[in-house]
Amino acid sequence: AFAAWMHAPANLAVAQEQFATTTRFGRLTSCRVTVAGRYAYARFVCATGDAMGMNMVSKGVSAVLDFLSAGSFGDLELLGLSGNVCCDKKAAAVNWISGRGCSVVAEATIPGHVVESVLKTTVAAACELNVAKNLIGSAMAGALGGFNAHASNIVTALYLACGQDAAQNVESSQCITLLEPANGGADLHVSVTMPSIEVGTVGGGTILAPQRACLEMLGVAGAGQEAGSHARELATVVAGAVLAGELSLLAALSAGHLMRAHLAHNRKPAAP
């Protein structure tokens, strides 16, 4: 009954009114309820402007559930505000499929002569490695959203620098990296698809001086003129940085340079 009520458009409007009583910036846009026996899991979808918005959403959802338990659903028992279908700080298919936060695709076409002169590999070799490693290898490992070389390295670094929730690196790093020949095989097309980048430019760690300075360098500190514009731009920066990192590591692996570089640059000189 709860699921049927929440899925009715007229009732969603009622829930939206209750949600709006708690915030000037947040907006409830939709809700989907999953049922397992006597348990109902409501996944609320909200717009939170330039905030990551977890606290904003939690406050609004509490108001909706309080309203329902005081009226139409007097027997409703709230076991916990989060039932893990959100799904926060965990790798989950629901985020991979439906998205969470910002969903971003970044892509670039790299001229073949740059692939050879700068990345020290070839278009064919890079594409073959990406299929073998990021697609087949990840599938053999049973990866969930982990069809990439090292997206989490870049995401974590940027999150720490820009005042984001570092633990949300888990779902924010879900990424599939695709490489393919372009322009008749002469050039390399690379893309990263990241469906659940969770970022904000107001609130939380973004108020800390070093982190705000990083956001200011990127031109996304604070709220944008259009609600959510700074958060979306920061998510795009994250995806673009991940694309660069993926291209760099795949090229190093393809050319056989990775371990040589580690040995040359990441070891203390031998004692005399």
Measure the CA dihedral 157/92/102/197, to 10°: 0
% of the chain residues with pLDDT over 90: 90
Per-residue pLDDT tens digits for 33-50: 999 999 999 999 999 999
Mean pLDDT of the chain: 95
Strand (E) or helix (H) holding 39: strand 39-47
Q: Distance between CA atoms of 32 and 7, rounded to whole angstroms?
A: 7
Q: Distance between CA atoms of 241 and 194, rounded to whole angstroms?
A: 12
What pLDDT is recorded for position 271? 63
What pLDDT is recorded for position 161? 98
pLDDT of 272 higher than 80: no
Per-residue pLDDT tens digits for 92-146: 999 999 999 999 999 999 999 999 999 999 999 999 999 999 999 999 999 999 9
Q: What is the mean pLDDT of residues 150-168?
A: 98
pLDDT of 270 higher than 80: no
Q: Distance between CA atoms of 100 and 175, rounded to whole angstroms?
A: 13
Residue 37, CA distances (Å) to 3, 158, 261 in order: 12, 41, 55
Cis peptide before 102 (omega within 30 of 0): no
What pLDDT is recorded for position 263? 75
φ, ψ at 223 (rounded to 5°):
-85, 140
Per-residue pLDDT tens digits for 217-260: 999 999 999 999 999 999 999 999 999 999 999 999 999 888 78
Are the C-beta atoms of 70 and 18 separated by less than 8 Å? no
pTM: 0.92
- In degrees, to the nearest 5, what angle opens at C-alpha 189 toward C-alphas 186 and 192? 165
What pLDDT is recorded for position 250? 97
Q: What is the mean pLDDT of residues 68-72?
A: 90
What pLDDT is recorded for position 266? 73
